[in-house]
Amino acid sequence: MNVSELFQIVGEQYPVLTKYPFWVVAILAIAAIIIIMISEVAKKAAVDIYDKSKEVLKATNISREPASPPIEIEPTKPLQLTFALSQRNPNFTGREDILAELRAALTSGLVAGWKQVLTGLGGTGKSQIAVEYAYRHKEEYKFIWWLQSEEPAALASNYAGLAKELYLPEKSCADQTAIIVAVKRWLGDNSNWLLIFDNAKSSDDIEQYFPREGTGHIIITSRNPNWGHLAGVLPIQVFKRSESVDFLIKRTKKGNQESADKLADALGDLPLALEQAGAYIEETATSFADYLKLFLEQRSKILKRGKSTAYPETIATTWDISFQAIKKDFPEAIDLLKLFAFLAPDNIPRSL
Ligand SMILES: Nc1ncnc2c1ncn2[C@@H]1O[C@H](COP(=O)(O)OP(=O)(O)O)[C@@H](O)[C@H]1O
Ligand SMILES: [Mg+2]
């Protein structure tokens, strides 16, 4: 078939084309072929780009599919967890010998070595030593828990609270005794933990919370000296004079060795009394000598009133000086202090 025959056939099929000369129809046909070819090439390029972009998305982990929900893994063993431990005291001073003795006793491997009691009068710094020990050895324990132990009911609920922190299945049991048993079992099965029972009244109140074996360490602080049958006892005395002087200068950022020495002597080197004096001196910009004068006057008044039973008269005096200053500047704060006096000293909620 030649071109004119083809033209005739197409003309019969599409009579409209016969209206135009042959060369016009030929050009239209060639243009149609070129358009079809271009669109084929474009289609192929689009498919290539789509495939390429799919590969890139895959490589960069981006997906247009909705993300699957993350898998929740309940940790069974906490790492480096610290609970209820108070802030480290930036003015912590001295006590190097007792801290070393405490560490050596806890790690001695002796039968009762893993349980140590810091005993001594109120305000000698037992709790401070326990806090400082915990911070100094934080890296060596996986788990540190501070338990206020003065009130048996509060202690039981704090101890049971461990179950939640440890993700124990018994954590939501209605029976508190069952939770306590579970926590005790966990302590027996795990190592590298430190429990601090602060301000315990007697062994009867806390013995039930100890696992049988020494897989971890226990520090108890108590005013009661009778613990010999249960744990190692480390008696805590007041500061050495050099510690008192260092503390007063560090706490107030003023004074000299001589005036600090005289004040420390009057305060009986008792850390709590030194802290109260230091706070007052810093707050009111008083000198060591003036505070000493104030202290001696106030003490003779207090001694006339009769001796305090819970704390030595040193504390009663330093406390009274601070109390009078607060009363003068913030009379409304006294009502709050009276309210606190009715509450257990260690359990006042921060929100109050
Ligand atoms: N080593 C210390 N360095 C600095 N301040 C101390 C030290 N020991 C005790 N204190 C101060 O004395 C206060 C009473 O100490 P604390 O440990 O609570 O006594 P305790 O537990 O024996 O009753 C603390 O709040 C702190 O201000
Ligand atoms: Mg204490």
Would you say residue 67 has pLDDT above 60? no
Domain edge (last residue) among 186, 214, 235: 235
One domain, residues 260 and 224: no
Please give the distance, rounded to the nearest whole angstrom, from the Cα atom of residue 239 to the centre of ligand 1: 10
Q: Could you give phi then psi for residue 190, rounded to 5 degrees? A: -120, 160
One domain, residues 198 and 258: no
Please give the distance, rounded to the nearest whole angstrom, from the Cα atom of residue 328 to the centre of ligand 1: 27
CA 5 to chain centre: 96
Q: Residue 29 — pLDDT band, cuts 50, 70, 90?
A: low
One domain, residues 112 and 191: yes
Query: Cα separation of 277 and 193, whole Å?
Result: 36
Would you say residue 75 has pLDDT above 90? no
Q: Which residue puts its alpha carbon closest to atom 9 of ligand 1? A: 125
Domain span at 338: 241-342
State residue 110's pLDDT score: 87
Does residue 351 lie within any of the structural domains? no
Q: Which residue puts its alpha carbon closest to atom 13 of ligand 1? A: 272
Ligand 1, closest atom to CA 275?
27
Average pLDDT, the chain: 80
Structure-block tokens of residue 158: 């704090």
Q: Residue 259 — pLDDT band, cuts 50, 70, 90?
A: very high
Q: Where is average pLDDT lowest: 15-29, 96-110, 116-130?
A: 15-29
- Nearby residues of 75 by Cβ (< 8 Å), 6 or more positions away: 167
Domain edge (last residue) among 184, 204, 235: 235
State residue 323's pLDDT score: 79
- Any ligand 1 atom below 6 A from CB of 252: no
State residue 327's pLDDT score: 77
Point out the ligand nearest to the CA of residue 120: 1
Q: What is the mean pLDDT of residues 186-207?
A: 93
More confident residue, 101 or 76: 101
Would you say residue 54 has pLDDT above 60? no
Please give the distance, rounded to the nearest whole angstrom, from the Cα atom of residue 108 to the centre of ligand 2: 25
Q: Which residue puts its alpha carbon closest to atom 24 of ligand 1? A: 272
- Any ligand 1 atom below 6 A from CB of 314: no
One domain, residues 182 and 87: yes
Please give the distance, rounded to the nearest whole angstrom, from the Cα atom of residue 123 to the centre of ligand 1: 6
One domain, residues 225 and 195: yes
Q: Residue 63 — pLDDT band, cuts 50, 70, 90?
A: very low
Query: Cα separation of 294 and 318, whole Å?
Result: 9
Structure-block tokens of residue 214: 């020494």
Q: Residue 214 — pLDDT band, cuts 50, 70, 90?
A: confident
Interaxial angle between packed helices 96-106 and 126-136, expressed in degrees from 0 to 180 and rounded to the nearest 10: 70
Please give the distance, rounded to the nearest whole angstrom, from the Cα atom of residue 275 to the centre of ligand 2: 14
Does residue 265 lie within any of the structural domains? yes
Structure-block tokens of residue 312: 């030595």
Ligand 1, closest atom to CA 131?
17
Ligand 1, closest atom to CA 221?
21
One domain, residues 252 and 226: no
Structure-block tokens of residue 187: 């302590």
Q: Which residue puts its alpha carbon closest to atom 12 of ligand 1? A: 272
pTM: 0.73
Q: Residue 48 — pLDDT band, cuts 50, 70, 90?
A: low
- How many Cα atoms within 13 Å fall on the side-chain side of residue 279? 13
Does residue 147 lie within any of the structural domains? yes
Structure-block tokens of residue 205: 């109140």
Q: Residue 101 — pLDDT band, cuts 50, 70, 90?
A: very high
One domain, residues 209 and 107: yes
Q: Pick from 72-76, 212-216, 238-242 the range whose average pLDDT is largest.
A: 238-242
Does residue 224 lie within any of the structural domains? yes
Q: Pick from 109-113, 201-205, 329-333 the range whose average pLDDT is largest.
A: 201-205
Does residue 55 lie within any of the structural domains? yes
Q: Could you give phi then psi for residue 262, rounded to 5 degrees? A: -65, -45
One domain, residues 93 and 199: yes
State residue 229's pLDDT score: 84
One domain, residues 7 and 101: no
- Nearby residues of 1 by Cβ (< 8 Å), 6 or more positions away: 9
Does residue 31 lie within any of the structural domains? yes
- Any ligand 1 atom below 6 A from CB of 124: yes
Q: Which of 144, 236, 235 is nearest to 197 (CA)?
A: 144
State residue 30's pLDDT score: 67
Domain edge (last residue) among 184, 211, 235: 235
Domain count, the chain: 3
State residue 22's pLDDT score: 65
pLDDT digits (tens, 9 = 90+) for 219-229: 999 999 998 78
Mutate which of 128, 238, 246 for ligand 1 pocket (most atoms within 8 A of beta carbon):
128
Query: Cα separation of 183 and 169, whole Å?
Result: 10
More confident residue, 263 or 30: 263
Structure-block tokens of residue 202: 């007697």
One domain, residues 218 and 122: yes
* Cα-based distances in Å from 352 to 335, 337, 346, 348, 349: 13, 11, 13, 7, 6
Does residue 350 lie within any of the structural domains? no
- Any ligand 1 atom below 6 A from CB of 311: no
Q: What is the DSSP string of 287-336?
A: -HHHHHHHHHHHHHHHHHH---SSS-HHHHHHHHHHHHHHHHH-HHHHHH
One domain, residues 276 and 324: yes
Would you say residue 28 has pLDDT above 70? no
Does residue 35 lie within any of the structural domains? yes
Q: Where is average pLDDT lowest: 28-37, 113-122, 230-239, 270-279?
A: 28-37
Query: Cα separation of 151 and 326, whole Å?
Result: 29
Q: Which of 191, 136, 123 is nearest to 345 (CA)?
A: 123
Contact assessment for residue 171 and residue 193, using Cβ atoms and an 8 Å cutoff:
no
State what percent of residues in the chain have pLDDT above 90.
Answer: 49
- Any ligand 1 atom below 6 A from CB of 149: no
Please give the distance, rounded to the nearest whole angstrom, from the Cα atom of residue 126 to the centre of ligand 2: 6
- How many Cα atoms within 13 Å fall on the side-chain side of residue 8? 5
- Any ligand 1 atom below 6 A from CB of 125: yes
Interaxial angle between packed helices 176-189 and 152-165, expressed in degrees from 0 to 180 and rounded to the nearest 10: 60
Query: 3-class SS at 258?
Result: helix
- Residue 178 belongs to a domain with what CATH number? 3.40.50.300
State residue 146's pLDDT score: 94
One domain, residues 111 and 219: yes
Q: What is the mean pLDDT of residues 289-308?
A: 80
Ligand 1, closest atom to CA 118?
22
